[in-house]
C-alpha cells in the first residue's frame, strides 16, 4: 500500500473508532519547542511536577521513543458533556465526569494500531496518551488539527477545545498534513482575564504551578495560603479558561459512553462531598480519574474551599 492510500485508511479508521479528528506529521526533532520547554523548566513553571523534567530529549524527538519512527499520527477525542454537573457549590472539571480517559483512549489506540497492522502489514509503533514524554499539543498543531490558544490549549474553529489529544508514533512513511499556522485568538484575552490565580502569565504562557488544576490534582502537600479565596469552588481540576473561550460555543456533546457520569457520581451533593468516606469514594469513583488524588486529596480540596467560604 502506498503512502497516500495508507494515510487515507488511517484517517478513515480513526473516524470509525470515534476519534474527532486525525492529522499526520513527520517524526522529526521539535526545533522550535526545544528552547521553549527548556526555559519553562528553568523558570520552575512545572512546580512539583518533576516528571516534566525527565526524558527531555524524548519529549522533543519521537524517534527516541519508537525505533525507526517516520510518522506521528495525532488524534483528538471529544469529552464535552451533554450536561454540566455542579454539586451544590462544588465544581469538577468536565474531563473527569466519566471513566479515566487514559484507559479509554489507550484501548482505542491499541485497536487502531492492530487495524493498521492487519491492513497494511508489519508496522511497528506505540500508543501515547498524555502520561508519556510526548508534546501532544505541539504534534497536534504540526498535524494541522488546530492552533495553540492563549491559555495554551489546542483550539479548533469547528469544535473549540474540550477534547483529549493522543498519538500513534509508527515506523511507516505517510502523507503529511500541513501545520496549522493561523491564530484565531485575535485580541481576545478572556482566558487570561478570567484566571483567578493568574496562571496564564502572558499570552500562550502558563505557569503550571499556579493553575487550579495543579493545586487540586498534582500538588500533594497543603495548598498555599496565598491562593485562598481564588478557587471559585473547584475541587478537582478547573475549566475556567476554556469555559470563557468564545470558540467553545461550538462544542458539541461527546458520543463516548465511557465519558458519561454514573448516577452515583452525578447525584452527589455538597454534604456528600464534605462527609465522603473511603467506602463511598471507592464505590463512586471506580475507574475515575478522580482516584488520582485519593480520598485524602479530595478531602483536602473540599476543606480548602470550605475554609474560603467561611
130 is catalytic: yes
Angstrom distance (rounded) from CA 112 to CA 17: 8
CB-based contact 192:150 (threshold 8 Å): yes
Contacts of residue 235, defined as CB under 8 A and 6 or more positions apart, other chains included, come to 90, 91, 92, 216, 273, 298, 301, 302, 305
Closest CA to 74 of 199, 180, 212: 180
82/76 Cα distance (integer angstroms): 18
Residue 186 makes CB contacts below 8 A (sequence gap 6+) with none
Question: Per this entry, what is the length of the chain?
Answer: 310
> 18: which 3 cell numbers?
470515534
In the set 57, 67, 130, 177, the catalytic residue is 130
CA separation for the pair 79, 258 (Å, rounded):
10
- For residue 162, the SS3 value is coil
Mind telling me the catalytic residues?
130
Amino acid at each position: 500500500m502506498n503512502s497516500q492510500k495508507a494515510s487515507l485508511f488511517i484517517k478513515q479508521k480513526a473516524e470509525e473508532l470515534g476519534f474527532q479528528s486525525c492529522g499526520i506529521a513527520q517524526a522529526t526533532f521539535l526545533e522550535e519547542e526545544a528552547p521553549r520547554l527548556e526555559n519553562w523548566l528553568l523558570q520552575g513553571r512545572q512546580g512539583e511536577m518533576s516528571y516534566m523534567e525527565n526524558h527531555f530529549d524524548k519529549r522533543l524527538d519521537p524517534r527516541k521513543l519508537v525505533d525507526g519512527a517516520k510518522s506521528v499520527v495525532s488524534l483528538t477525542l471529544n469529552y464535552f458533556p451533554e450536561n454540566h454537573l455542579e454539586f451544590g457549590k462544588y465544581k469538577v472539571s468536565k474531563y473527569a465526569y466519566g471513566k479515566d480517559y487514559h484507559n479509554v483512549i489507550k484501548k482505542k489506540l491499541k485497536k487502531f494500531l492492530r487495524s493498521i497492522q492487519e491492513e497494511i502489514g508489519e508496522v511497528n509503533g506505540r500508543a501515547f496518551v498524555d502520561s508519556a514524554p510526548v508534546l501532544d499539543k505541539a504534534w497536534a498543531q504540526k498535524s494541522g488539527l488546530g492552533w495553540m490558544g492563549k491559555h495554551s490549549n489546542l483550539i479548533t474553529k469547528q469544535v473549540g477545545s474540550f477534547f483529549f489529544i493522543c498519538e500513534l508514533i509508527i515506523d511507516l512513511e505517510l502523507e503529511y498534513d500541513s501545520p496549522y499556522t493561523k491564530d484565531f485568538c485575535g485580541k481576545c484575552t478572556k482566558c487570561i482575564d478570567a484566571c483567578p490565580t493568574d496562571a496564564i502569565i502572558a499570552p500562550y504562557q502558563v505557569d503550571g504551578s499556579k493553575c487550579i488544576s495543579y493545586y487540586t490534582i498534582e500538588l500533594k502537600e497543603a495548598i498555599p495560603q496565598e491562593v485562598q479565596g481564588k478557587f471559585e469552588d473547584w475541587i478537582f481540576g478547573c475549566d475556567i479558561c476554556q469555559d470563557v473561550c468564545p470558540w467553545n460555543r461550538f462544542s458539541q456533546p461527546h458520543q463516548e459512553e465511557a465519558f458519561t457520569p454514573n448516577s452515583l457520581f452525578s447525584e452527589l451533593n455538597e454534604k456528600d462531598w464534605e462527609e465522603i468516606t473511603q467506602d463511598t469514594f471507592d464505590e463512586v469513583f471506580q475507574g475515575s480519574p478522580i482516584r488520582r488524588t485519593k480520598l485524602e486529596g479530595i478531602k483536602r480540596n473540599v476543606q480548602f474551599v470550605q475554609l474560603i467560604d467561611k
